[in-house]
């Protein structure tokens, strides 16, 4: 290939030399992510009859961001090719294809055999299944490669993948600031950076120009930090186990803790879809058959449902488990305050690797705009954090609790 902008961009060259199968590049605006993606896909056209795809959040964005650049580069490279404007497709004389596609209709990817794919502005993708269910299988037959290019937008799907990629086989992760681009290391570029810093809020500048993942405003568990509160502690079956329990058939959520040296450590979680209390108890009994287990559950579990002779508490007791509860749940706002205080004081730790759903709740759950209620538009969000909260609140209350004796539920 002829000389490209990457030749003058030291950070892009570092990424270019990395041959990892999957790479995530998280950076500030105008770092040069899209140009890197274009050059990487153009390189893929050297392979005869290969399929190379650039994906943008929408078709219009893809055409505006990169289509003209790709056509110009094909003429610069003097490669014989055809251009299909209606399909945003370039076909090289060796049969290799480079096409722009949209993330809006993920079914269009199914059945394709893809060699290279670049997913640009990945933080703006709406579908959580586009990568694992629609695109990832398309790379299996060809042993294809993928590049994810993004600027952070809170703790969303892109953030989750970014964190997982750090420790996953075949993945590499890069995080750069806008100023890491040589195009901003000029007097004009530095002036632009300073202007942006002066006119944006600190949060927006750090996200948009420094490539930092920052929480949405109104985050409920604002005191939780996955780095600060992480631990590699695993359950010791010789010590008693505490279970924070949320009663909800889909999902049933259980947060598994042990109290060690004055700290409450969540080292496991049980998350069952379309399950009941009996199935949850069976799973906990299976995992910890010889441990003394005490539930700290949602207090409403003491009630019997209209179609059952047993309450959730009765079912828990039938397995030989103990119950440590109060007659009624604390006010939600008091519970959240108690949990945040416990995190602030370092009294609660979480094994991030073992408890991904709990961590997701702590990082993503926000207030509804203009209210003091949790935004629960995602039906699977909030249950695991509720479960953990019941246990944490019992251990570190900020208000006096009316305790029900454990012995009453043996």
Query: Which of 340, 385, 383, 337 is CA-nearest to residue 359?
Result: 385
- Taking the C-alpha atoms of residue 115 and residue 264, their distance in angstroms, rounded to an integer, is 47
> Does 317 lie in the same domain as 197?
no
> Does 355 lie in the same domain as 253?
yes
pLDDT band for 282, please (50, 70, 90 cuts).
Answer: very high
Neighbours of 36 (CB within 10 A): 26
pLDDT band for 208, please (50, 70, 90 cuts).
Answer: confident
- Taking the C-alpha atoms of residue 336 and residue 220, their distance in angstroms, rounded to an integer, is 7
CATH code at 125? 3.40.50.300
* Within-domain flag for 325: yes
* Within-domain flag for 72: yes
* Within-domain flag for 357: yes
> Does 80 lie in the same domain as 188?
yes
* Within-domain flag for 215: no
214-217: long-range contacts, CB 8 A cutoff, minimum separation 24? 214/152, 214/154, 215/154, 215/155, 215/363, 216/154, 216/155, 216/364, 216/366, 217/366
Domain boundary among 160, 185, 208: 208
Cis peptide bond upstream of 200, omega within 30: no
> Does 169 lie in the same domain as 246?
no
> Does 28 lie in the same domain as 143?
yes
Query: Which of 153, 100, 162, 146 is CA-nearest to residue 126?
Result: 153
Q: What is the tens place of the pLDDT at every residue in 284-320? A: 999 999 999 999 999 988 776 545 678 999 999 999 9
Regarding beta strands 51-56 and 116-119, do their DSSP bridges make them parallel or antiparallel, or are they unpaired? parallel
- Taking the C-alpha atoms of residue 156 and residue 167, their distance in angstroms, rounded to an integer, is 18
- In this structure, what token pair is assigned to residue 156? 């969303």
Does the predicted model carry a pTM greater than 0.85?
no
Distant-in-sequence, close-in-space partners of 16: CB < 8 Å, separation ≥ 6: 6, 36, 39, 40
* Within-domain flag for 286: yes
Structural domain of 42: 5-208
* Within-domain flag for 355: yes
Distant-in-sequence, close-in-space partners of 62: CB < 8 Å, separation ≥ 6: 54, 55, 56, 88, 100, 101, 102, 120
> Does 262 lie in the same domain as 191?
no
Indicate if the pLDDT at residue 146 is higher than 60.
Answer: yes
Neighbours of 56 (CB within 10 A): 27
Q: Please, what is the Cα angle at 338 between 247 and 236, to 5 degrees?
A: 65
Q: In this predicted structure, what is the pLDDT of residue 4?
A: 67
* Within-domain flag for 213: no
Q: In this predicted structure, what is the pLDDT of residue 410?
A: 40
Q: Name the more confident of 259 and 407.
A: 259
Q: Is 305 exposed, middle or buried (0-12, 13-18, 19+ CB in 10 A)?
A: exposed
CATH code at 321? 3.30.420.280
> Does 76 lie in the same domain as 187?
yes
> Does 33 lie in the same domain as 155?
yes
> Does 149 lie in the same domain as 202?
yes
Q: Name the more confident of 52 and 402.
A: 52
> Does 284 lie in the same domain as 188?
no
DSSP for 98-144, written as a single string = EEEEESS-GGGGTT---SEEEETTGGG---SSIIIIIIGGGGTTTT-
Distant-in-sequence, close-in-space partners of 274: CB < 8 Å, separation ≥ 6: 249, 250
Number of structural domains the chain divides into: 2
Query: Which of 155, 352, 360 is CA-nearest to residue 266?
Result: 352
- Taking the C-alpha atoms of residue 246 and residue 17, their distance in angstroms, rounded to an integer, is 48
> Does 161 lie in the same domain as 42?
yes
* Within-domain flag for 104: yes
Domain boundary among 208, 231, 255: 208
> Does 78 lie in the same domain as 183?
yes
Q: CA distances (Å), 395 to each of 104, 238, 260, 403, in order?
A: 46, 20, 12, 12
Q: Name the more confident of 337 and 234.
A: 234
Domain boundary among 190, 208, 226: 208
Q: What is the tens place of the pLDDT at every residue in 8-54? A: 788 888 998 999 999 999 998 888 899 999 999 999 999 999 999 99
């Amino acid at each position: 290939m002829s000389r490209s902008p990457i030749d003058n961009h030291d950070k892009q060259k570092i990424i270019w030399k990395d041959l990892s199968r999957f790479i995530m590049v998280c950076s500030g605006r105008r770092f040069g992510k899209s140009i890197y993606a274009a050059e990487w896909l153009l390189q893929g056209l050297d392979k005869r009859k290969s399929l190379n795809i650039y994906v943008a959040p929408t078709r219009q964005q893809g055409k505006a961001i990169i289509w003209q650049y790709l056509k110009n580069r094909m003429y610069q490279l003097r490669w014989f090719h055809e251009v299909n404007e209606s399909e945003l497709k370039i076909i090289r004389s060796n049969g290799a294809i480079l096409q722009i596609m949209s993330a809006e209709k993920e079914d269009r990817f199914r059945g394709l055999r893809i060699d290279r794919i670049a997913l640009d502005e990945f933080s703006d993708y709406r579908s959580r299944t586009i990568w694992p269910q629609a695109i990832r299988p398309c790379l299996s037959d060809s042993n294809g490669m993928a590049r994810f290019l993004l600027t952070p937008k809170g703790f969303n799907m892109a953030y989750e993948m970014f964190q997982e990629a750090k420790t996953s086989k075949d993945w590499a992760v890069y995080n750069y600031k806008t100023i890491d681009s040589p195009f901003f290391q000029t007097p004009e570029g530095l002036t632009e950076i300073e202007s942006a810093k002066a006119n944006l809020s600190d949060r927006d500048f750090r996200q948009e120009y420094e490539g930092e993942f920052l929480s949405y405003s109104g985050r409920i568990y604002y005191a939780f930090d996955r780095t600060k509160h992480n631990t590699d502690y695993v359950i010791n079956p010789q010590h008693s186990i505490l279970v924070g329990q949320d009663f909800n058939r889909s999902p049933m959520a259980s947060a598994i803790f042990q109290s060690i040296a004055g700290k409450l450590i969540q080292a496991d979680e049980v998350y069952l879809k379309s399950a009941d209390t009996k199935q949850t108890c069976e799973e906990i009994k299976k995992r910890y058959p010889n441990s003394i287990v005490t539930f700290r559950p949602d207090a409403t579990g003491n009630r019997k449902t209209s179609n059952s002779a047993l309450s959730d508490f009765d079912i828990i007791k039938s397995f030989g488990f103990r119950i440590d509860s109060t007659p009624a749940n604390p006010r939600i706002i008091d519970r959240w305050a108690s949990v945040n205080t416990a995190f602030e004081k370092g009294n609660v730790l979480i094994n991030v690797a073992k408890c991904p759903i709990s961590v997701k709740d702590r990082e993503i759950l926000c207030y509804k705009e203009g209210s003091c209620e949790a935004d629960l538009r995602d039906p699977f969000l909030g249950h695991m954090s509720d479960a953990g909260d019941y246990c944490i609140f019992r251990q570190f209350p900020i208000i006096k609790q009316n305790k029900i004796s454990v012995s009453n539920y043996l």
